[in-house]
Amino acid sequence: MPAAPAVQAAAAPAAPKHQSSPEVKERLAAVGAIGQAISAEVQKVIIGKAHVIDNVLVNILANGNLLFEDYPGLAKTLMTNTFADALGCDFKRVSFTPDLLPADITGTNIYDAKKGEFTFKPGPIFCNLLLSDEINRAPPKTQAALLEAMQEKQVTIGTVTHKLPSPFLTMATQNPVEQEGTYPLPEAQLDRFMFKMSVGYPDRADEDEILARRIQRKKDAVDVEVITDPQRVIAMQQAIEDVYVDPAIRMYMVECVARTREDPRVLVGASPRGSQALLKTGRAAAAMRGRDFVTPDDVKSVAVLALAHRLILKPEHQIKGLECDEVIQTILGQVPVPTV
């Protein structure tokens, strides 16, 4: 995009205005370095999708939930498995099916005959990284079991609330709704995903590389090195809080989100949760690029992933085949870029 260098040049003077302490700069440099190491490790498995891997890392650093929507066989589940291995996190997988019950995910109280009382048996949700595989195969009642966990990082069974381990992230996969036997996710749940993204098909050269590597290693499984651990992931997430956001950049985020509510093609615009997603992922994107301040380009790089799935278009525009991504791109083209 030819305008990008101009934006970058305009954003560069922001650095002298705000000087972070050496400790903050060191912490953020470490975040960038560990992020690059994780990305390199995942790229051993997922070939030709560096931009997707970087966006997943931004989502993890921003402590958000992630929804992959794409067709079968495009490495959605493999991507999640590989990240769990590289992050050294406790990983659980739930395959969503039409007969899955909420208690199968959250856990339930079971009667202990020896003690003569009910004891809580935790479900698979008690982990650091939960893979909700094919989440739109399960009915809404079961999908809703994740709502509290995704937002409040806790689960309530009866009258007792159980805290989930930290960090806790949900990575969900779904096939497009046009496919047979799927239930669309409720808007309240979609809004709780920080990013919604797709992996996409590899090009011919990348697909040839996939086959070449499979021949070379003589097995399906790929060995992944552990790069970090849960405590360090938490420290990286906390370091993101020190990334500086200029008031002009903040207003730029607010303006982008506000315009989704005013667009004549949109029935329901993005909520303040969308603004917070822009803030958190914008900061994470800046840290991944080795900076301690956010530029307009950081915001632009995450805007479509963070906002598009929160919009509901008017029926007449849905019928015409308009995509929410196009609405966000139009808004990004219209909102004046701050020159801080």
* Digit-coded pLDDT (tens) for 50-98: 999 999 999 999 999 999 988 888 888 888 889 999 998 888 999 988 8
Residues in the chain: 340
Strands 266-268 and 312-313: antiparallel
Per the domain annotation, does 88 fall within a domain? Answer: no
- CATH number of the domain residue 255 falls in: 1.10.8.80
Q: Does residue 7 carry a pLDDT above 90?
A: no
The residue ranking higher by pLDDT, 26 or 13, is 26
For residues 287-293, give the mean pLDDT.
Answer: 90
| AA letter at 203 | D
- pLDDT score recorded for residue 310: 93
Q: Does residue 252 carry a pLDDT above 70?
A: yes
- pLDDT score recorded for residue 141: 82
Per the domain annotation, does 184 fall within a domain? Answer: no
The residue ranking higher by pLDDT, 117 or 250, is 250
- pLDDT score recorded for residue 177: 67
Domain count along the chain: 1
The reported pTM is 0.87
Q: pLDDT grade, residue 119 (50/70/90)?
A: confident
Q: pLDDT grade, residue 238 (50/70/90)?
A: very high
- pLDDT score recorded for residue 17: 64
Per the domain annotation, does 306 fall within a domain? Answer: yes
Mind listing the pLDDT tens digit for each residue in 166-209? Answer: 899 999 988 876 677 778 888 888 899 999 999 889 999 999 99
Q: Does residue 2 carry a pLDDT above 70?
A: no
Per the domain annotation, does 14 fall within a domain? Answer: yes
How many whole angstroms separate alpha carbon 87 and alpha carbon 44? 15
How many whole angstroms separate alpha carbon 294 and alpha carbon 17? 12
Per the domain annotation, does 236 fall within a domain? Answer: no
Q: pLDDT grade, residue 13 (50/70/90)?
A: very low
Per the domain annotation, does 265 fall within a domain? Answer: yes
Q: Does residue 329 carry a pLDDT above 90?
A: yes
User: Mean pLDDT across the chain, nearest whole number?
Assistant: 87
- pLDDT score recorded for residue 339: 82
Mind listing the pLDDT tens digit for each residue in 218-233? Answer: 888 888 889 999 999 9
Per the domain annotation, does 287 fall within a domain? Answer: yes
Per the domain annotation, does 8 fall within a domain? Answer: yes
- pLDDT score recorded for residue 3: 42
Burial call 70-105: b when 16+ CB within 10 Å, e when fewer: beeebbbbebbbbbbbbbbbebbbbebeeebebebb
Sequence-separated (6 or more) residues with CB below 8 Å from residue 177 = 136, 184
As a 3-state breakdown, the chain gives helix, strand, coil percent values, each rounded to 5, of 50, 15, 35
- pLDDT score recorded for residue 298: 94
Of the ranges 14-18, 89-93, 287-291, 297-301, the best mean pLDDT one: 297-301
Q: Does residue 160 carry a pLDDT above 80?
A: yes
Domain that holds residue 266: 1-20+244-340
Q: Does residue 302 carry a pLDDT above 50?
A: yes
Q: Give which of 236, 234, 255 is closest to 299, Cα–Cα.
A: 255
